[in-house]
């Protein structure tokens, strides 16, 4: 039961031409090989398909029966190939990714827009959400891959660092620490601290530091960084954010001072996916574009200059 699609094509060609020589030409083979092919087909299906006297070729009743079935089959096979090749060529496909809000606000959408322009047939989806949810989306396969900050058990995933993204203290320009090159969390003793979402990745990371320092928790728990920025600009306190989110605060002219505690200083953005599961061709394409287009954020650079990530559209 192992009929080559090429044989079906030959059958249909002959059914159409009713002439071995012409059909053979159409199949790009010698007339003799074509004759053998038809004979082989007939022996495989177990019935004569053509009546041929040297001067005329016509379908037997069983041949007539096969025509519509073979036609449908040939079309389905072609469609299957088309579909796979379209995916291989990135003309079709879906990519879903997840990322924290900082990445999702500015840089990532720009990369995704570039990708969309280059591969208009691929459907993109972005989940901007918090760390634990991101991990869940990767685990259950809802997204092809994700961007995230440092996570607890990186061995569960395939992880690779995209770029460094250290944390900064955000405070008013006239704040005593604003002129420092860098600070340590310990220096925040006595400050009012404004938390963003409690339980977030950042909160989990800051907590051990802050709890050791005599900091005054303002009790705020905010969803939007623009709210935090407004509060800080009006002297209500300070906060710490990753470099990638600084733009929310610079809009209001706030100062940003590098935090030099090791884990906050060395943090960065990572790309992660399920272990042992390769990416779809489409997802791999987006991944490569993300890796090629990541913003340059050298550790020593002052935050005011950070928007110069190069754009590489094709």
Partner DNA sequence: CACACTTACGATATTCGTAAGGATT
Partner DNA sequence: AATCCTTACGAATATCGTAAGTGTG
Residue choice 25, 31, 116, 187 for contact with DNA (CB under 7 A): 31
157 makes contact with DNA (CB under 7 A): no
198 beta partners: none
For 156-202, the DSSP string reads: GEEEEEEEE--EEEEE-TTSTTTT-SEE-GGGGTT-EEEEESTTSHH
- The interface mask with DNA, positions 35-64, x = CB under 7 A, is xxxxxx-----------xxxx-x-------
12 makes contact with DNA (CB under 7 A): no
User: In Å, how far from its chain's centre is CA 162?
Assistant: 13
Q: Which helix (H) or strand (E) holds 125?
A: strand 122-128
Phi, psi of 246 (to 5 degrees): -60, -30
**Residue 46's binding partner, choosing from DNA, its own copies, none, with beta-carbon cut-off 5 to 8 A by kind?**
its own copies
**Nearer residue to DNA within complex by CB, 36 or 226:** 36
**Nearer residue to its own copies within complex by CB, 39 or 79:** 79
Helix (H, G, I), strand (E, B) or coil at 254: coil
Residue choice 13, 15, 25, 28 for contact with DNA (CB under 7 A): 28
Residue choice 158, 281, 301, 309 for contact with its own copies (CB under 8 A): 281
30 makes contact with DNA (CB under 7 A): yes
**Nearer residue to its own copies within complex by CB, 27 or 231:** 27
Q: How far is CA 201 from CA 30, 101, 102, 264, in A?
A: 69, 11, 12, 12
Residue choice 1, 176, 308, 311 for contact with its own copies (CB under 8 A): 1
Instruction: Tell the smallest beta-carbon distance from residue 70 to DNA (Å).
Output: 16
Residue choice 5, 16, 21, 292 for contact with DNA (CB under 7 A): 21
Helix (H, G, I), strand (E, B) or coil at 238: strand
List of residues 6+ apart from 314 with CB closer than 8 A: 114, 118
CA distance 84 to 276: 22
Count of positions on this chain that bind DNA (CB under 7 A):
22
User: In Å, how far from its chain's centre is CA 67?
Assistant: 44
Residue choice 16, 33, 39, 47 for contact with its own copies (CB under 8 A): 47
Block residue for tokens 């600009």: 233
Residues comprising the chain, all counted: 314
**Nearer residue to DNA within complex by CB, 1 or 262:** 1
- The interface mask with its own copies, positions 69-98, x = CB under 8 A, is xx-xx--xxxxxx-xxx-xx----------
**Residue 84's binding partner, choosing from its own copies, DNA, none, with beta-carbon cut-off 5 to 8 A by kind?**
its own copies
Helix (H, G, I), strand (E, B) or coil at 278: coil
CA distance 71 to 62: 15
Block residue for tokens 């991990």: 135
In the complex, which residues of this chain contact DNA (CB under 7 A)?
4, 6, 19-21, 28-33, 35-40, 52-55, 57
In the complex, which residues of this chain contact its own copies (CB under 8 A)?
1-6, 45-48, 51, 53, 56, 58, 60-62, 65-66, 69-70, 72-73, 76-81, 83-85, 87-88, 144, 276-281, 283
């Amino acid at each position: 039961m192992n009929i080559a699609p090429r044989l079906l094509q030959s059958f249909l060609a002959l059914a159409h031409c009713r002439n071995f020589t012409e059909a053979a030409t159409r199949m790009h083979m010698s007339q003799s090989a074509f004759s053998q092919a038809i004979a082989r087909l007939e022996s495989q299906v177990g019935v004569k398909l053509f009546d041929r006297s040297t001067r005329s070729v016509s379908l037997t009743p069983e041949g007539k029966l096969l025509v519509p079935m073979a036609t449908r089959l040939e079309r389905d096979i072609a469609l299957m190939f088309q579909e796979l090749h379209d995916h291989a060529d990135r003309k079709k496909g879906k990519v879903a990714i997840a990322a924290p809000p900082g990445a999702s606000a500015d840089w990532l959408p720009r990369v995704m827009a570039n990708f969309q322009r280059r591969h208009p047939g691929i459907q993109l989806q972005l989940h901007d959400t918090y760390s634990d949810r991101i991990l869940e989306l990767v685990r259950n396969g809802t997204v092809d891959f994700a961007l995230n900050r440092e996570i607890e058990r990186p061995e569960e995933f395939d992880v690779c660092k995209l770029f460094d993204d250290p944390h900064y203290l955000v405070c008013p320009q006239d704040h005593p620490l604003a002129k420092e090159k860098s600070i340590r969390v310990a220096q925040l003793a006595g400050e009012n601290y404004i938390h963003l979402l409690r339980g977030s990745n950042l909160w989990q990371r800051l907590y051990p530091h802050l709890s050791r320092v005599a900091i005054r928790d303002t009790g705020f728990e905010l969803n939007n960084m623009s709210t935090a920025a407004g509060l800080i600009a009006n002297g209500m306190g300070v906060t710490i954010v990753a470099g990638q989110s600084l733009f929310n605060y610079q809009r209001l002219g706030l100062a940003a001072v590098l935090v030099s505690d090791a884990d906050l200083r060395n943090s960065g953005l990572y790309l992660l996916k399920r272990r042992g599961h390769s990416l779809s061709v489409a997802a791999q394409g987006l991944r490569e574009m993300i890796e090629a287009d990541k913003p340059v954020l050298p550790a020593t650079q002052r935050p005011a200059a950070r928007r110069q990530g190069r754009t590489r559209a094709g």
